């Protein structure tokens, strides 16, 4: 790259900075900028297109095209060359635009006389903002230096757009972070919440994208990189000999921090006229753009490492740390790209809701959110870049919708929904002590799911008859090392104390799949949900299983103890696990520890194979609990994390209900106690259908017990069963429509 080119680039950025400094309206600034860019690049046309909504670009300023086309010419994402630049976030540079793939002629612009076309995306940290275009009559491709210079200019435009430098009339020039936004996401924990945004990682704001003194900026960058390298080395030294995965991540950090190519590219950006912060953010934006396009999991992880390292470097340069000095609102709704269970527990019940840009319905964060009964949605695209601390926000965890900066109409409707839910809860409180007895005289046992000590107060308040599932993995997930047996024993004892004699079903360690312990080396499995998890891990690592069983026996201290093994796929797995329990009991007896008064040992039926286990299994197992979430995804071969397939299959599908009926009959024949545990148990319509199929015990989140009990007390299960049987005879795929008609006509 020549010094002359660098000088021209810096000159252009200096002229842009001067234009920005002028006290003028947003439209006037844009008009002046297009003139400056066209003049500096020797192009006859310079145009700036900005998004007016997530799918539509609008011509907002031009030098060279018809002035009447400004704010009139619009195109969809992917439409024409401009739309393709925006969609794919890549440069298009062609000497013959009309012949280029995707070209679309816009007659109102008068661009038919221009042959060459160079389009550069205007984007910031993966957030698309628009497209910068230059055109000429000459049939030529722009040089690599010219492309590079325009990318630098586009970076500055992105920063200035973010800072509100181009605010004017119309949707495309609307002030950023002010308009209402509706974000469709995925439900991970039901419930509705209203509050104000609290960003887990406050945004770094770059207020000086253009360098006044490139030499000084180079010094600042190199000093910051040196500081970053030292901090990474220190973290690596502290982690050596510890968790192998953490060391691996830090080794990747060190590799990037010492990358000469990474530093060279940022130095080149500074030589072009960017400030140190803007140069780092330009690299970060390009890494995020590549990350969004990458399909290879390993590459995405490495790009994520680079993104995180860039954040650290930006915080060193700007001094904008995690603690910005802002006060957390009294009604915080946490916004984050992702968050670990320990960090989430630090916030505790102070949060009203949680919105994650990434995450999954089975993630550690989702498990903690369910335990704390906090509404959670995941896959909320773009939320971390659009939301600002203090923004008004409403989270509909039932529908998987986020209303950011909602208008008055949405606020009114949402508050009506919350008020109706509160009113319903008052009504449910009046039946808290009454049994869930149906009109036909059948009584259903309603129990709650739990995973933290914080859940246990809900046992009394919800009207639950006991804890149908206590998830023991949370105590393992939130630590950086294996918990001690004494710690677990003390915790389990407190759980039993808080239950006041009510039955608590302790599920043994259920890890693997999407629940990986931070101190256990993860396996590189093509399909973790069908891989090394739960009872399979326990039987392969028997020392961990024995330690947990010992802790449970000592916690019982003579009281009844109920233990359930997860993800049992065949009889032999249950036999081996039960044999381990018997060995541990015998060892505890020899050590002089008090044994439980009574021990129940059950299994979770989460795989279709266990439904067809030998009769001997059903005779031997003390109880079974159907794990509906996993069972349904395996039954339908539909990943519950995959929105494209999971919604295709209904829990009230005739095939699934018939399958459950078969399990009920086998348990009735063997006298085996059976319950259903999962999200469907807590959904009123699904719950009454499960009861109609013969299930007499349901376990759910505490907040669902009231609504489920209320509907059970108002329904005739015999009549509902006839409706289901009639649907089967008709060949219905799902009995949901017939069930809803029955409920409406009998309400």
Catalytic residue positions?
364, 677
Q: Tell me how crowded residue 527 is: count the other CB atoms within 10 A of its CB.
A: 8
Contact 80, 102 (CB under 8 A): yes
- What is the C-alpha to C-alpha distance for residues 406 and 384, in angstroms, rounded to an integer? 17
- What is the C-alpha to C-alpha distance for residues 524 and 203, in angstroms, rounded to an integer? 33
> In 3D, which of 487, 491, 421 has the Cα closest to residue 450?
491
Core vs surface per residue 464-494: b (16+ CB within 10 A) or e: bbbbbbbbbbbbbbbeeeeeeeeebbebbbe
- What is the C-alpha to C-alpha distance for residues 26 and 71, in angstroms, rounded to an integer? 13
Q: What is the CA radius of gyration of the chain?
A: 30
Ramachandran angles phi, psi of 198, nearest 5°: -130, 110
The DSSP H or E segment spanning 94 is strand 92-94
- What is the C-alpha to C-alpha distance for residues 359 and 374, in angstroms, rounded to an integer? 15
- What is the C-alpha to C-alpha distance for residues 678 and 643, in angstroms, rounded to an integer? 18
Angle between helices 244-257 and 297-318 (to 10 degrees): 60
Q: Is 652 left (phi over 0), alpha (psi -120 to 50) or beta?
A: alpha
Taken as a whole, the chain contains a residue count of 747
Q: Across-strand partners of 46?
A: 63, 134
H, E, C per residue of 658-669: HHHHHHHHHHHH
- What is the C-alpha to C-alpha distance for residues 124 and 547, in angstroms, rounded to an integer? 50
Q: Residue 572: how many CA atoms within 13 Å on its side-chain side?
A: 1
Burial class (CB in 10 A: 0-12, 13-18, 19+), 98: middle
> In 3D, which of 344, 210, 184, 328 has the Cα closest to residue 275?
210
- What is the C-alpha to C-alpha distance for residues 395 and 423, in angstroms, rounded to an integer? 19
Q: Kindly give the pairing relationship between strand 181-184 and strand 353-356.
A: unpaired
- What is the C-alpha to C-alpha distance for residues 11 and 737, in angstroms, rounded to an integer? 69
- What is the C-alpha to C-alpha distance for residues 561 and 601, in angstroms, rounded to an integer? 9
CA distances from 713 to 435, 699, 739 (A): 8, 17, 16
- What is the C-alpha to C-alpha distance for residues 712 and 326, in angstroms, rounded to an integer? 48
Give the DSSP letter string of 355-414.
Answer: EESS--TTSHHHHHHHHHT--EEE--TTHHHH--TT-EEEEETTTTEEEES--HHHHHHH
Q: Residue 681: how many CA atoms within 13 Å on its side-chain side?
A: 27
- What is the C-alpha to C-alpha distance for residues 358 and 383, in angstroms, rounded to an integer? 10
């Amino acid at each position: 790259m020549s010094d002359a080119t660098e000088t021209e680039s810096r000159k252009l950025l200096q002229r842009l900075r001067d234009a920005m400094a002028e006290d003028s309206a947003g439209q006037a600034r844009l008009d002046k900028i297009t003139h400056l860019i066209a003049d500096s690049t020797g192009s006859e046309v310079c145009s700036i297109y900005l998004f007016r909504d997530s799918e539509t670009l609008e011509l907002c300023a031009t030098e060279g095209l018809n002035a009447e086309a400004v704010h009139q010419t619009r195109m969809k994402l992917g439409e024409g060359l401009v739309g393709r630049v925006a969609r794919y976030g890549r440069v298009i540079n062609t000497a013959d635009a009309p012949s280029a793939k995707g070209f679309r002629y816009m007659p109102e612009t008068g661009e038919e006389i221009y042959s060459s076309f160079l389009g550069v995306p205007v984007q910031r940290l993966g957030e698309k903002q628009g497209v910068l275009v230059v055109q000429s009559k000459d049939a030529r491709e722009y040089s690599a230096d010219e492309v590079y210079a325009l990318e630098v200019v586009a970076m500055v435009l992105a920063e200035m757009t973010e800072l509100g430098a181009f605010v004017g009339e119309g949707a495309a020039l609307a002030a950023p972070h002010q308009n209402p936004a509706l974000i469709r996401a995925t439900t991970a924990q039901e419930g509705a919440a209203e509050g104000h945004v609290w960003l887990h990682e406050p945004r770094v704001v770059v207020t000086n994208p253009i360098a006044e003194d490139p030499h000084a900026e180079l010094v600042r960058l190199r000093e910051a990189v040196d500081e970053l390298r030292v901090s990474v080395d220190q973290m690596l030294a502290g982690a050596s000999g510890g968790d192998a995965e953490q060391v691996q991540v830090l080794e990747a950090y060190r590799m990037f921090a010492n990358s000469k190519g990474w530093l060279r590219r940022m130095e080149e950006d500074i030589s072009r006229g960017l400030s140190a912060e803007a140069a780092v953010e330009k690299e970060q934006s390009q890494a995020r753009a590549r990350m969004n396009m990458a399909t290879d999991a390993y590459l995405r992880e490495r790009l994520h490492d680079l993104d995180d390292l860039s954040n650290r470097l930006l915080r060193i340069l700007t001094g904008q740390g995690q603690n910005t000095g802002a006060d957390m609102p009294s009604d915080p709704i946490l916004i984050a790209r992702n968050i670990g269970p320990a960090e989430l527990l630090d916030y505790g019940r102070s949060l009203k809701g949680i919105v994650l840009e990434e995450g999954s319905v089975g993630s550690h964060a989702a498990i903690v959110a369910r335990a704390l009964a906090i509404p959670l949605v995941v896959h909320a695209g773009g939320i971390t870049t659009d939301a600002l601390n203090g923004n008004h926000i409403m989270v509909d965890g039932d529908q998987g919708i986020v209303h950011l900066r909602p208008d008055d109409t949405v606020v009114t409707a949402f508050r009506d929904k919350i008020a109706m839910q509160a009113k319903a809860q008052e009504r449910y409180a009046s039946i808290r002590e009454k049994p869930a007895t149906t009109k036909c005289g059948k009584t259903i046992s309603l129990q709650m799911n739990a995973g933290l000590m914080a859940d246990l107060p809900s046992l009394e308040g919800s009207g639950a008859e006991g804890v149908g599932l206590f998830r023991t993995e949370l105590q393992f997930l939130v630590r950086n090392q294996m918990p001690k047996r004494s710690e677990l024993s003390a915790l389990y004892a407190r759980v039993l104390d808080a239950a006041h004699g009510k039955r608590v079903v302790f599920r043994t360690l259920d890890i693997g799949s999407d629940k990986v312990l931070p101190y256990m080396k993860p396996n590189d499995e093509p399909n973790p949900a069908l891989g090394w998890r739960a009872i399979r891990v326990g039987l392969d690592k028997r020392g961990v299983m024995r330690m947990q069983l010992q802790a449970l026996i000592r916690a019982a201290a003579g009281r009844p103890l109920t233990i359930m093994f997860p993800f049992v796929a065949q009889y032999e797995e249950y036999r081996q696990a039960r044999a381990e329990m018997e060995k541990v009991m015998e060892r505890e007896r020899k050590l002089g520890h008090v044994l439980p008064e009574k021990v129940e040992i059950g299994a979770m039926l989460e795989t279709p194979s266990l439904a067809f286990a030998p009769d001997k299994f059903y005779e031997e197992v003390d109880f079974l609990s159907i794990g509906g979430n996993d069972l349904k995804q395996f039954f339908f071969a539909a990943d519950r994390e995959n929105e494209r397939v999971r919604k295709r299959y209904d829990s009230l599908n005739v095939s699934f209900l018939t399958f459950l009926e078969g399990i009920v009959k086998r348990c009735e024949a063997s006298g085996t106690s059976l319950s259903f545990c999962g999200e469907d148990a807590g959904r009123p319509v699904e719950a009454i259908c499960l009861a109609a199929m013969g299930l007499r015990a349901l376990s759910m989140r505490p907040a669902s017990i009231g609504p489920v009990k209320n509907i059970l007390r108002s329904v005739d299960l015999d009549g509902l069963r006839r409706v289901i049987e009639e649907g089967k005879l008709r060949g219905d795929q799902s009995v949901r429509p017939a069930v809803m008609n029955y409920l409406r006509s009998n309400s």
